[in-house]
Amino acid sequence: MSEKRLPLWLRVYGVAAYAYIYVPIIILMVFSFNTMKLNIRWEGFTFRWYGVLFNDQQVILATRNTLMIAVVSTIVATLVGTMAALALHRYRFPGYGASETMMYIPIVIPEVIMGISLLVLFVMLNFTLGLFTITLAHIAFNIPFVALVVRARLHGYDNSIDEAAMDLGADELTTFRRVTLPTIMPGVLSGAMLAFTLSLDDYVITYFTAGPGSTTLPLRVFSMVRFMVTPEVNALSTIWVLTVFLVLLAGQFAQNRRA
Amino acid sequence: MKLRVLIAVFMPVVLLVAACAPSGGGAKSTELNLYAWSEYVPQQLLDDFTAQHGIKVNYDTYSSNEEMLAKLQAGASGYDLVIPSDYMVVAMLKLGLLDPLDMSKIPNFGNVDPQFTNQYYDPGNKYTVPYMWGTTAMAYNKTNVPFEPKSWADLWDPAFANKLVLLDDSREVPGMALQVLGFDKNSTNPDELEQAKQKLIELKPNILLFNSDDPETPLITGEAWAGLVYNGNAALGYAEDPNIAYICPTEGCGLWFDNLAMPKGAPHPDAAMAFINHVLEPEESVLITAEFPYSNPNAAALEYLKTNDAEAYAAYMGYAATNPPADFLKAAVPVKDVAEATTLYDQLWTDFKGE
Amino acid sequence: MSEQATSITRNRTVGLLSRLRESRVFQGLALISPANTYLFLFIVLPLLMIVVLSFLSRGAYGNVEFRFNPSNYARLLDPVYARILMYSLAVGFGTTVITILIGYPLAYFIARSPARQRSMLLFLILVPFWTNFVIRIYAWIMILRGGGLLDSLLQGLGITQEPLGILYTPTAVMIGMVYEFLPFMVLPLYTSLEKIENSLLEAAADLGAPPWRAFLRVTLPLSVPGMIAGTILVFIPAMGMFVLPDLMGGAKTLLIGNVIRNQFLTARDWPFGAAASMVLMIMTLVLTLFYTRKAGFSEELLV
C-alpha cells in the first residue's frame, strides 16, 4: 500500500492498540523497582534487584544460551521455511500433498509430545543433550511458522513477473534477488520475527531437549517464579526491552540519516 | 542455479552440525551436573563447593518430581545428582534409575537427625541422603476467616464460598478429601476414591483457585482466606503477614522428604559424593535454611545455627511451617506411590476438574 | 574407451543436468527437500515412535511395557474427554475471533502507515513478547487481581466501589489469551494487507465505490490468506494452551493440553498420553487441511 494520510479513526485506533500492548509491559517495568520481595503491591523504590540480577551468574549464562539458540534457529528456519513456501507456491512435484501436510504437523503437535519424542530420538541417536539439541528442536518447530507466513505473502503473487524478468535475460539468481525477494521480504521478515519470538519464549520443548549447563531464560525464569516472583525477573524483562528499544532507535536513526 | 542457492544455504547448516556434533564425555571430575528443584540450592553453597574442591557445578532445574523422572526415564541425561521426593525414590528404585551411594565418602551423614534416616522409601539409606523435609497442611489468614478452621471439614462451610486456594495436585487434594471421609490418604479402593471425588465436587463453590507455585500470594492479598499449601508457602506468607497461621487439621495432613540421590550412569560419581558430603556440613546446611523456609533434617546444622545466629534459630523453631510440633507430625501422612492406582487418581482428577 | 565416447557421455551428462535444472519438478523438489528432510527426521520419525507408544501399556511405576493395548483409545470415549475437548475448542475459537477483531484494524493501520515506519511499527508489536511469557502473565494478574491495579484505578475515579473480581474467571483467561496471541494474528494479516496496491483501491474509488464498499470488495478478499495463516497460528496453539488458563483462570477446569501434560508429568501414563495426542493431532490436522483447502489457500498454483 502506498503512503497516504491515514484517517483519524485509524490513527486513534493504532495508538490505543499500542497502548493496550504496552500497558502490562510498563507495569512490569515499574515493578522492577519495588522494594517488596514478593512483589504483590507497591511498597517503595529501589535499584536493588538490578544489582541482584547482574550478580546472577545463572541468568547471565541463560541469556547467552537463549540468544544463541534463537539467532541460529531463526536463521536456519527462515531459509528453509522460505524455500519451502516458494516450492509450495510455485511448483508441482511428486509428494506435494504429503509435503504440505508435513508442514502443519509441528503446529498441531502438542508441545509435550514433541519434547518427549525428540528427547527419545536424541538419546537413541546418542546426541549429547545441550545447546545443539535445543537448537535442532527449535528449527523444527520454527520452519512451518515461517513457511506459513511467507506463503500468505506469496498468495496471489504473479509468477509471470519472474518469467518476464527472465525473458529479459536475467538469470534465476538475479531474478530472485531483484524481483522475487523484494516482493516477499515483508513476509520473510515477519516470519523470521515470529520464529525468533517463539524461540525466545519456548519452555516445554526446550525443557526436554536441554542437557547439563544449557539452561535457557524461560527455563530459568519458570524456575524462579516457582518459588516466588521477586522483582528480579521484572528487572530482567526491563533490561531486555530497553536494549531492544535502543537497538531499534539506533537503527531508525541510521536510516533517517541515510534518507 | 537453484542448486547453487541450495548449497549456499546448506553449507552453513552442515558446518554447524559438524561443529556442534556431540563429543564423547571425557570423565574428568572437574564438573558436577546437578539437577535439582528450582530455587533450592543456594548460590553460596555452590560457590563454596567450587572453591574447596575445584569442581564446577552446572545447576539445572526442574519444577516437579515427574518432570525430572520423565527426563531420566527417556535415557541418558548426563546428570550426577538429583533431588527426588520420598515417593519418587520408590518409583525410581523400581525403575532402576538410581545408583547406590558410596557412604564411606560421606562421613557427614552422621549429622542427619536419626529420625529422618532409614525411612520407608530407602531402608538403610543405600541410595539417598535427606536434603530438606516439610509438610503440606492448612494455612489461613486470621484477619479474614469468619471462624478459625480446625479441621479440613470446616473448609466445606459455605462461609468460605470462593475463598479457598488449594495446591494444584492430583494426590494432595484427593488425599485431603479421603482424610475428611476417614479413609487412608493413599487409598487405592475405587469406592473410596469415588466418594472422595463426590466430596470434592461439593467443595467446588468454595474454591477460588488451584495454585502450587505461590498459594501464599492470594492469602496475603486477602483474595483467599484459607487453603491447602506447602509449609514453604506458609512460611513465606508468614514473613509478609504474621496473621497467616499454619496448622495440621484434625483429620491429618501431609509430609514429604526430599533426598539427594545419584542417577544411574552418572558421569562424575566421585564429585557427587563430595557434593553430598559438602551439603551436610553444618555451616553449608544453614545456608539452605537461611534462604529457603523448609525444615532441615541436619541436627548438627540446627545446633550450629543456635550458637551462631540465635535470632534465626528462634524464628526457625518458632513457626509451625519450619518446626512443626510433635502432635502436628504425628498426624502427618506422606503421599506414597500407589503404582497402578495412579491412573485412578488421574481419572478422579480429570472427572473432578472436567465436570 | 575412446576420447569421443567420453566426450559424448560428458555432453549427455551435462545435457541431462541442465535439462534437470530447468525441469520445474526438479526445482520444486530442490526447494522443498531441505524442509522435508528436516521435518521427516525431527518430526515424523519421533512421531512414529509416539504412534507405537500409544498402543503400549503403562507399567506399575509409570514405565512403558511392550504389551499391545488398544484400550488407551477406548478410554478416550469417556464423555468427560469430549467435554474437555469442546471447552478447549471454545477457548481456541473465542481467542481467534477476538484477535481477528482487534488485530485486523491494527494490521491495517501498520500496512497503511508510511513505508519507512512499517517495519518499526511491526517490531514494536513484537518487542513486548520478547519479555518472558510468565512475567507477562504475572503483570496481567497484578492488573486484574481483586484490589489490584485496575480496581484501584476504577475506584480512584469513582467508577466502581467493589472489586470487579475478574481474576480467576473465564473472562480473565480470554483477556490474557487475546493479549498473548495478538501478534500471531497481526503479522500474517499485515503481510497480506501490505501488498495490496493502492491503485486497486483508487480504481475502485474511480468507479464510484464508497470506501466501505472498496474495503469489502477489494481489501477484505485480498487479505483472506493472511487471515487463514493467522487463524492457524492462533487457533491451534490457543486450543492446546494450558499454562495461561491455569494461572489466570485459577486452574479450575481442565483443557485438552492439561490432560495430555498430566499423562506425562503427573499420572506418568505415557501410552495414554500418546493416544490422546494422536487423536488431537489427527483431528486438528484434518480440520486445518479442510479449512485451508476450503478457503482456497492451496489453490494458488498459477503455473
Average pLDDT over chain C, rounded to an integer: 87
What is the rounded end-to-end Cα distance, in angstroms, of chain B? 61
A173 to B23: CB separation less than 8 angstroms, yes or no = no
- Residue among A143, A183, A240 whose CB faces C130 most closely: A240
Q: Does B58 touch chain C (CB under 8 A)?
A: no
Distance from CA of residue B172 to its chain's centroid?
13
Q: Check if C24 contacts A (Cβ < 8 Å).
A: yes
- B220 contacts chain A (CB < 8 A): yes
Q: What pLDDT is recorded for position B294?
A: 93
What is the predicted pLDDT for the residue at C3?
Answer: 60
What is the per-residue pLDDT for A216?
A: 92
Answer whether B193's CB lies under 8 Å from B170's CB.
Answer: no
Residue C303, pLDDT above cutoff 50: no
pLDDT in tens, A119-162: 889 988 888 899 999 999 999 999 999 999 998 888 877 777 77
Cell of residue C108, nine digits? 491495517
Give me the pLDDT at residue A190, please.
87
Per-residue pLDDT band for B21 (boundaries 50, 70, 90) equals very low
> Which of B5-19, B58-72, C52-66, C210-224 has the lowest average pLDDT?
B5-19
Per CB-CB distance under 8 Å, the chain B contacts of A131 are 20
Q: How many CB pairs under 8 A join A and B?
A: 105
Q: Is B47 on the interface with C (CB under 8 A)?
A: no
Q: How far apart, in Å, are the Cα atoms of B243 and each of B138, B226, B235, B292?
A: 13, 12, 11, 20
Least confident of A49-63, B30-44, C22-36, C198-212: C198-212
Interface of C with B in 242-301 (CB under 8 A): 246, 250-254, 258-259, 262-269, 272
Residue B346 to residue C147, Cβ atoms within 8 A: no
pLDDT value at B23 more than 60 = no
Per CB-CB distance under 8 Å, the chain A contacts of B232 are: 227
Tell me: pLDDT of B208 over 70. yes
CB B134 within 8 A of CB B324: no
* Residues in B touching A177 (Cβ below 8 Å): none
Residue B176 confidence (pLDDT): 97
pLDDT at A179 (0 to 100): 83
**Chain A contacts of C295, Cβ < 8 Å?**
none
The number of beta carbons lying within 10 Å of the beta carbon of residue B153 is 15
Query: Cα B17 from chain centroid?
Result: 38
Average pLDDT (B98-118) is: 95
- Going by the DSSP 8-state scheme, the letter that residue B80 receives in this structure is S
Residue C12 has pLDDT above 90, yes or no: no
**8 Å CB contact of B9 and A212:** no
Quote the minimal CA–CA distance from B355 to chain C in Å.
Answer: 7
Strands (E), chain C: 57-58, 64-65
Residue with cell 547453487: B4
Is a pLDDT exceeding 90 seen at residue B66? no
pLDDT in tens, C48-61: 999 999 999 998 88
Among chain C residues, the shortest Cα distance to A136 is held by C42
Mean pLDDT of B278-287: 96
Q: Is C12 on the interface with A (CB under 8 A)?
A: no
Q: What is the pLDDT of residue C175?
A: 95
Instruction: Determine contact, residues B212/B168, Cβ cutoff 8 Å.
Output: yes
Q: Do A84 and C124 touch (CB under 8 A)?
A: no
Mean pLDDT of A217-246: 85
| Amino acid C21: pLDDT | 66
Contact C42, A141 (CB under 8 A): no
Per residue in C172-198, pLDDT tens? 999 999 999 999 999 999 988 988 877
Percent share of chain A, pLDDT over 70: 97
Using pLDDT thresholds of 50, 70 and 90, give the confidence band for residue B17. very low
Task: Note whether C32 contacts A140, CB cutoff 8 Å.
Answer: no
Taking all residues of chain B, what is their mean pLDDT, rounded to a whole number? 90
- pLDDT single digits (tens) C183-237: 999 999 998 898 887 777 788 888 888 888 888 888 888 888 899 989 999 999 9
pLDDT digit string, tens, across residues A40-95: 888 899 999 999 888 888 888 899 999 999 999 999 999 999 999 999 988 888 99
Residue of A nearest to C121 (CA): A18
> Which residues of chain B are within 8 Å of residue A214 when distances are taken between CB atoms?
60
- β-bridge partners, B62: B37
Looking at chain A, how many residues does it have?
259
Dist. CA C235–CA C95, nearest whole Å: 7
Are B266 and B30 contacting, i.e. CB atoms less than 8 angstroms apart?
Answer: no
**Is pLDDT of C298 > 60?**
no
> Is residue C149 pLDDT above 80, yes or no?
yes
Tell me whether C122 touches chain A (CB under 8 Å). yes
Asked whether the predicted pLDDT for residue B279 surpasses 60, the reply is yes
- pLDDT band (50, 70, 90) for residue C20: low
Residue of B12 and C252 predicted with greater confidence: C252
What residue in B sits closest to A228 (Cα-Cα)? B214
Mutate to test the interface with A, among B17, B20, B79 (most CBs of A within 10 A): B20
The angle formed by the CA atoms of residues C106, C111 and C115, to the nearest 5 degrees, is 135
Q: Tell whether B351 lies on the interface with C, counting CB pairs under 8 A.
A: yes
Q: Residue C4: which pLDDT band, with cuts at 50, 70 and 90?
A: low
Tell which wins on pLDDT, C266 or A253: C266
What distance in Å separates the CA atoms of residue C80 and residue C72, rounded to the nearest whole number? Answer: 15
Q: Determine contact: B1 vs chain C, CB below 8 A.
A: yes
How far apart are the C-alpha atoms of B224 and A238, rounded to whole Å?
30
pLDDT tens digits for range A157-205? 777 777 787 788 777 778 888 888 888 888 898 899 889 999 998 988 9
CB proximity list for C72: less than 8 A, separation 6 or greater: C54, C55, C271, C272, C274, C275
pLDDT at C265: 85
Phi, psi for B100 (deg, rounded to 5): -65, 155
Least-confidence region, from A169-173, B87-91, B312-316, C82-86: A169-173
3-state helix, strand, coil in chain A (%, to 5): 80, 0, 20
Inter-residue contact C106 to C186 (CB < 8 Å)? yes
Q: Which residue of C has its CA nearest to A244?
A: C127
Task: Tell me the mean pLDDT in the region A32-38.
Answer: 89
In chain A, residues with a C-beta closer than 8 Å to the C-beta of B169 are none
The Cα C185–Cα A235 span in angstroms is 29
Name the band, by pLDDT with cuts 50, 70 and 90, for residue B10.
very low
Higher pLDDT, C195 or C142: C142
Amino acid at C169: T
What's A34's DSSP letter? B
- CA triple B219-B224-B225, angle to 5 deg: 80
Banded model confidence at residue C74, pLDDT cuts 50, 70, 90: very high
Nearest by CB: C268 against B9, B168, B342: B342
* Alpha-carbon A233 to chain mean position: 20
What's the CA gap between C42 and B289, in Å, rounded?
Answer: 44
Contacts of B305 (CB under 8 A, 6+ apart): B286, B289, B312, B313, B316
| pLDDT given at position B1 | 38
Q: Looking at residue C10, what is its pLDDT? A: 64
User: CA nearest A130 in B: which residue?
Assistant: B22
Residue A240 has pLDDT above 90, yes or no: no
Q: What is the largest CA-CA distance in chain B?
A: 81
Across residues B297-311, what is the average pLDDT?
95
ipTM of this complex prediction, to 2 decimal places: 0.87
Nearest chain C residue to A242, by CA = C127
| Contact present, A71 and A195 (Cβ < 8 Å) | no
For the cut 90, the answer to whether the pLDDT of residue B167 exceeds it is yes
Helix intervals (H) in chain B: 2-20, 43-53, 65-74, 86-94, 172-180, 190-203, 216-221, 231-240, 269-279, 282-291, 299-308, 310-318, 326-330, 342-354
Q: Count B/C contacts: CB-CB distance under 8 Å.
A: 105
Residues in chain B: 355
C-chain residue closest to A90, CA distance? C301
A130-162 burial by CB neighbour count: b if 16+ within 10 A, else e?
bbbbbbbbbbbbbbbbbbbbbbbbbbbbebeeb
pLDDT reported for residue C9: 63
Residue C17, pLDDT above cutoff 90 = no
The pLDDT, as a whole number, for residue B12 is 44
